[in-house]
Amino acid sequence: MKILKIFLSIGVVLFMVFVAFLWFQRKPVSVLMYHFVDTKEAARENTLIVSKETFQRQIDWLQSWGYRIYSLNEFAAWVGKNKGKLKRGVVLTFDDGNRDFPERVFPILNREQVPVSVFLIWQNLSKEEMGSMSIDQAKELIK
71 vs 17: which has the higher pLDDT: 71
26 vs 44: which has the higher pLDDT: 44
Whether residue 38 contacts residue 55, with contact meaning beta carbons closer than 8 Å, is answered with no
How do residues 38-96 score in pLDDT, each as one tens digit?
A: 999 999 999 999 999 999 999 999 999 999 999 999 888 887 776 666 778 899 999 98
19 vs 143: which has the higher pLDDT: 143
DSSP letter string, 69-132: EE-HHHHHHHHHHT-S-PPSEEEEEEEETBTHIIIIIHHHHHHHT---EEEE-HHHHHHT-TTB
Any residues with CB less than 8 A from the CB of 43 and at least 6 apart, and which?
A: 49, 50, 51, 54
How do residues 119-140 score in pLDDT, each as one tens digit?
A: 988 888 888 777 888 888 888 8
Is the pLDDT at 19 greater than 60, yes or no? no
- The whole-number pLDDT of residue 6 equals 63
Give pTM, 2 decimals. 0.74
**Interval 1-15 mean pLDDT:** 60
Adjacent-strand bridge partners of 38: 51
Whether residue 119 contacts residue 96, with contact meaning beta carbons closer than 8 Å, is answered with yes
- The whole-number pLDDT of residue 107 equals 94
- The whole-number pLDDT of residue 7 equals 54
Separation CA 102–CA 93 (nearest Å):
14
Query: What HEC string does 44-58 produce?
Result: HHCCCEEEHHHHHHH
**Interval 101-112 mean pLDDT:** 93
Is the pLDDT at 23 greater than 70, yes or no? no
Sign of CA dihedral 134, 129, 103, 75: negative
